[in-house]
Amino acid sequence: MSDWEDEYDAGGVAISKPLTLPVKNAPVQSWRPPSLRGARSREATSFGAKFGNVREGEQWTNWRDRDVESNICDGEAGKNNSYSRPRAGPTGCRSSGDGSGSSPETLHVENSLVGRIIGRGGAKIRELEESSGASIKINRGAHDAEVLIFGSCDAQLKAKDMIEDLVHGNSVRGPGYRNGNSDAGYQGDSCWPASAVRAVAAAAPTPVPIDWTALRENRDKYEAIKWQDLPTLKKDFYIEAKSVAARSAEEVKIWRKENNNIFVDDLKDEDKRTIPNPVCTFEEAFVHYPGIMENIVRVGFQKPTPIQSQAWPIILKGIDLIGIAQTGTGKTLAYLLPGFIHMDEQPVPRDRRDGPGMLVLTPTRELALQIEAECNKYSYKGFKSICIYGGGDRKAQIKVVTSGVDIVIATPGRLNDLQMNELINLRSITYLVLDEADRMLDMGFEPQIMKIILDIRPDRQTVMTSATWPTGVRRLAKSYLKEPMMVYVGTLDLAAVNTVHQTVLFVQEEEKKDYVFDFIHRMEPQDKVLIFVGKKIKADDLSSDLCLQGVAVQSLHGDREQSDREEALQDFRDGRVRILVATDLASRGLDVHDITHVFNYDFPRNVEEYVHRVGRTGRAGRSGASVTLVTREDWKVASELITILERSGQDVPEELVLMAERYEKHQREKEMFAPRGRGGGQRGRFRGGSERRF
Ligand code: AMP
């Protein structure tokens, strides 16, 4: 999988890369306070800046060129202005070459520290000169001073040593110092005596480089211990029907093309496997599992949906699966039915297991309840399921969990809460589903998902569904699925719902209510409409307006009590109300079969959400219709909306094309006349642009 990010290993654990430790004596490139950034090379090369930037003779010429107030303590220093950069001799002394050491040794010292060298009334400098035999001159600059040491090599070095001691107190030099490596061994800012530091350094154990391989092996060992007492796991239950095996590659290719252009890929990096042929009837998948067949016959389905045809053989073979498919394509049954078989066929009988076998993680309560309903509808061998979601009765959920269930359908937040409080055992889970993964990520559930999965055995089977395939979902897949196969229906980007007739109307904001009332008054008795609004308050506002007009309506949004949300959905499902006003809470995965219309009162945040909303109608092969009100404020999405409409074979209104063009032009002009720098003169030039959109 070339486009997977590689900071996670196959087990889903972030790979810790060795830290790049700063190398001693490496060039100083690390952080510096802003005040020093960009300043002319003032960083200390040998000494800590704290005590003054004492440098060796480097940048001598630069220093001479500086615009400084040259405070010459000793009148002779002026004549040194013509010195070129001295060459370091083999001893570190800047020798003239004849051993006389007539080229001066140069140190740079902060002005505030120069007093230490000069001493009261010049006493210190005299003492220095006497004991070293060198002659010392100091040139003061604006911030620091040049200390020039004249004399023989030995005298220069001795004086330099003494000056550095004075400036740095107990500075410490390593043995390399005298060998011409003047940087070696310096402990620039140390306040300890050199001998003490050397002793401690000698006693300290040599730092051992971190052995990442060993750490990884240890982690693997720990993982093995953590999971060692688990019962063996069985994953492959697929017996390929003769009719399926007999399908030629060409036949399979044609079938895939004709079934929503389904595409299958093996995401294993090496040794790619043969992708199983699709099953075209329920029997081809489940003839060996009569309990499943009975259920299918009972509900009266004619044939598998495309995602089911291709997903069932893969999942039944025990391979992890990523299913990317548009809403309403039968994704839930695609993972539920093989999951039932997986649980039933485990070597350890159900009554001897100490927790649930299947976990479905899903983003919203509504979806969780819907999946639970689907589980119960196809109830297989009496498997017990429980729905765990925030806002539901926590105590009741705990009671059911602890009394023993087979299938847990949960939103990540509440499940993580129970997990942290050790109220649920996830070690028994062998079949994990991450449903609507993109939505879970959008809702910020990644940390909870991570924690939950840490407690689930790594050799489990994992199925992930998602409507889209953005980077975050890829990362999730890379982290938590092992060598999966991927099935996607339609294109990888947004798949528009082909079965929905989509109408786009151009209105003013203040006309919207008239449009929706008009629509409602024209509704036929069998019609059922889901009206999407952008804000919770708008949902309340519109539904109460409709109520006041005597229209039976329900509303669904995140600020309503959970019981009210459930009641609203149930009323709508059962047909007690035929109008539901909702926010995007209801845009994804919500499965109410007989919604005939979706009415987009407000355009959604993005076209992705548009596709999800529209997908609430035209479910499971039925046809549906959508009406979308577009105002001038929505011109940003015009171009993407055109793509969606074109891709799903819809008429594209001329007005939408013009709108997209106007927006594009506006963008071009904005870029062309974008203010350059602060307070640019063009600012506001196109402020009136919005007025010119239509
Ligand atoms: P989903 O995409 O899982 O939300 O499914 C949408 C609806 O399609 C659900 O109500 C399913 O019961 C229904 N469904 C699932 N599989 C089939 C099938 N093979 N034929 C007809 N309807 C199906």
pLDDT digits (tens, 9 = 90+) for 615-632: 888 776 677 899 999 999
Here the tokens at position 466 are: 């998602």
Going by alpha carbons, the residue nearest to atom 19 of ligand 1 is 304
With respect to residue 103, please indicate whether it lies within any of the assigned structural domains. Answer: yes
Residues 621 and 549 reside in one and the same domain: yes
Question: What's the CA-to-centroid distance between 328 and ligand 1, angstroms?
Answer: 6
Question: What's the CA-to-centroid distance between 618 and ligand 1, angstroms?
Answer: 12
Whether 656 contacts 632, CB under 8 Å: no
With respect to residue 210, please indicate whether it lies within any of the assigned structural domains. Answer: no
> Does 84 or 155 have the greater pLDDT score?
155
Average pLDDT over residues 486-499: 64
Question: What's the CA-to-centroid distance between 497 and ligand 1, angstroms?
Answer: 15
CA-closest candidate to residue 345, choices 456, 460, 239, 234: 234
Question: At residue 19, does pLDDT exceed 80?
Answer: no
Pairing of strands 144-150, 579-582: unpaired
296-350 pLDDT per residue, tens? 998 889 999 999 999 999 999 999 999 998 667 889 999 999 999 999 999 988 7
Whether 1 contacts 478, CB under 8 Å: yes
Here the tokens at position 196 are: 């003490």
Q: What residue numbers bound the domain in which 504 lies?
A: 500-652
Residue type, 156: Q
Question: What's the CA-to-centroid distance between 330 and ligand 1, angstroms?
Answer: 4
Question: What's the CA-to-centroid distance between 323 and ligand 1, angstroms?
Answer: 15
Residue whose structure tokens are 């998602």? 466
Residues 332 and 428 reside in one and the same domain: yes
208-225 pLDDT per residue, tens? 788 888 888 888 888 888
Here the tokens at position 535 are: 């804000």
Question: What's the CA-to-centroid distance between 329 and ligand 1, angstroms?
Answer: 6
Residues 620 and 679 reside in one and the same domain: no
Residues lining ligand 1, Cβ inside 6 A:
301, 304-305, 308, 328-333, 591, 593, 619-620
pLDDT at 497: 65
Going by alpha carbons, the residue nearest to atom 22 of ligand 1 is 620
Going by alpha carbons, the residue nearest to atom 20 of ligand 1 is 301
Residues 335 and 389 reside in one and the same domain: yes
Q: Given ligand 1 and candidates 305, 324, 593, which is best to mutate, with the most ligand atoms within 8 Å of its CB?
A: 305
How would you label 52-90 residue by residue, b for 16+ Cβ within 10 Å and e otherwise?
bbbbbbebbeebbeeebebebbeeebeebeebebbebbe
Going by alpha carbons, the residue nearest to atom 4 of ligand 1 is 328
pLDDT at 62: 33
Q: Given ligand 1 and candidates 333, 409, 487, which is best to mutate, with the most ligand atoms within 8 Å of its CB?
A: 333
Residues 618 and 694 reside in one and the same domain: no
Residues 366 and 455 reside in one and the same domain: yes
Question: At residue 46, does pLDDT exceed 60?
Answer: no
| Percent of all residues in the chain with a pLDDT value above 70, rounded to a whole number | 76
Of 129, 163, 188, which residue constitutes the final position of a domain? 188
- Residue 88 confidence class, pLDDT cut points 50, 70, 90: very low
Average pLDDT over residues 431-455: 93
Is residue 93 helix, strand or coil? coil
Here the tokens at position 26 are: 């490496």
Q: Which atom of ligand 1 lies at the shortest distance from residue 332's CA?
A: 3
Model pTM score:
0.54
Whether 172 contacts 194, CB under 8 Å: yes
Residues 644 and 567 reside in one and the same domain: yes
Whether 536 contacts 555, CB under 8 Å: no
Q: What is the mean pLDDT of the chain?
A: 77
Q: Given ligand 1 and candidates 295, 332, 367, which is best to mutate, with the most ligand atoms within 8 Å of its CB?
A: 332
Three-point CA angle 372, 463, 619, nearest 5°: 55
Residues 477 and 331 reside in one and the same domain: yes
With respect to residue 5, please indicate whether it lies within any of the assigned structural domains. Answer: no
Residues 578 and 448 reside in one and the same domain: no
Q: Which atom of ligand 1 lies at the shortest distance from residue 593's CA?
A: 10
Largest distance between two CA atoms of the chain: 112
Report the distance separating Cα 598 and Cα 503, nearest Å. Answer: 10
Q: Which atom of ligand 1 lies at the shortest distance from residue 303's CA?
A: 19
With respect to residue 680, please indicate whether it lies within any of the assigned structural domains. Answer: yes
Question: At residue 48, does pLDDT exceed 70?
Answer: no
Question: What's the CA-to-centroid distance between 570 and ligand 1, angstroms?
Answer: 19
Question: At residue 151, does pLDDT exceed 60?
Answer: yes
Residues 483 and 513 reside in one and the same domain: no
Q: Collect all residues with Cβ–Cβ distance below 8 Å to 514 and sequence separation of at least 6.
A: none
Report the distance separating Cα 274 and Cα 285, nearest Å. Answer: 18
Average pLDDT over residues 463-469: 89
Report the distance separating Cα 508 and Cα 444, nearest Å. Answer: 35
Whether 485 contacts 266, CB under 8 Å: yes
> Where would I find the beta strands (DSSP E) of 476-549?
485-488, 500-506, 529-532
With respect to residue 580, please indicate whether it lies within any of the assigned structural domains. Answer: yes
Q: Where are the alpha helices (H) located in 241-363, listed in sequence order?
A: 242-245, 249-258, 282-286, 290-299, 306-316, 331-344
> The CATH number of the domain where 522 resides is what?
3.40.50.300
Here the tokens at position 53 are: 């930037």
Residues 410 and 515 reside in one and the same domain: no
Q: Which atom of ligand 1 lies at the shortest distance from residue 299's CA?
A: 12
Q: Given ligand 1 and candidates 292, 435, 591, which is best to mutate, with the most ligand atoms within 8 Å of its CB?
A: 591
Q: Which atom of ligand 1 lies at the shortest distance from residue 589's CA?
A: 4
Question: What's the CA-to-centroid distance between 622 and ligand 1, angstroms?
Answer: 11
Of 489, 520, 539, which residue constitutes the final position of a domain? 489
Residues 351 and 398 reside in one and the same domain: yes
**140 DSSP β-pair partners:** 71, 145
- Residue 318: CB atoms within 10 Å: 15
Question: What's the CA-to-centroid distance between 214 and ligand 1, angstroms?
Answer: 49
With respect to residue 379, please indicate whether it lies within any of the assigned structural domains. Answer: yes
Q: Given ligand 1 and candidates 295, 301, 463, which is best to mutate, with the most ligand atoms within 8 Å of its CB?
A: 301
With respect to residue 369, please indicate whether it lies within any of the assigned structural domains. Answer: yes
Here the tokens at position 431 are: 């079949």
Question: What's the CA-to-centroid distance between 609 and ligand 1, angstroms?
Answer: 21
Domain count of the fold of the chain? 4
pLDDT at 27: 33
With respect to residue 227, please indicate whether it lies within any of the assigned structural domains. Answer: no
Of 431, 457, 489, which residue constitutes the final position of a domain? 489
Report the distance separating Cα 405 and Cα 293, nearest Å. Answer: 23
- Residue 66 confidence class, pLDDT cut points 50, 70, 90: very low
